[in-house]
Amino acid sequence: MRQYSFTITGNKYSVDIKSIEENIAEIEVNGTSYQVELGKEMKAPATPKLVRSAPTTPAKAPAPMSSTGVSLVKAPLPGTILKVMVAPGATVKREQPLMVLEAMKMENNILAEKDGTIKTIKVNEGDTVLQGDTLLEID
């Protein structure tokens, strides 16, 4: 977490603060670990501690998209539509680029999720979209 060097009456100490929870700090001084009770409670760091548990069952592959019915293509990130490459009534193949979305100063291709025909396009070039907004429908 943090590392400090101290010199006390000519003796050098290397102190690593490993964690602080409530008023207990876990530190290491010159390679020896200690738990220290603090005089006053310290504020928790802004970054939460990430704890991951091992999965108990193997992850299943997602089910393939249904090839029938209307499929909504949604914006994966908030951004601006730079280019629309299809028109209503156009036939598209799976993984075909449909439009370009600029998000975080990067251009992202929006691809068709299945084979089909473009039913409606909900956005125009230059439009700003939010994450999850419907961009177009494939029938």
- How does residue 49 score in pLDDT terms, banded at 50, 70 and 90? low
Q: What is the pLDDT of residue 67?
A: 57
Q: What is the pLDDT of residue 5?
A: 86
Say whether pLDDT at 133 is over 60.
yes
Query: pLDDT above 90 covers what percent of the chain?
Result: 37
Q: Structural domain boundaries of the chain?
A: 2-37, 71-138
- Among the residue ranges 43-52, 91-100, 124-133, the one predicted with the least confidence is 43-52
**Whole-number Å distance between alpha carbons of 19 and 120:** 54
* 71-138 under CATH 3.40.50.300, yes or no: no
Mean per-residue pLDDT, 6-20: 86
71: CB partners within 8 A, 6+ apart? 65, 113, 114, 116, 137, 138, 139
Say whether pLDDT at 51 is over 80.
no
pLDDT digits (tens, 9 = 90+) for 90-126: 999 989 999 999 988 899 999 998 999 999 999 999 9
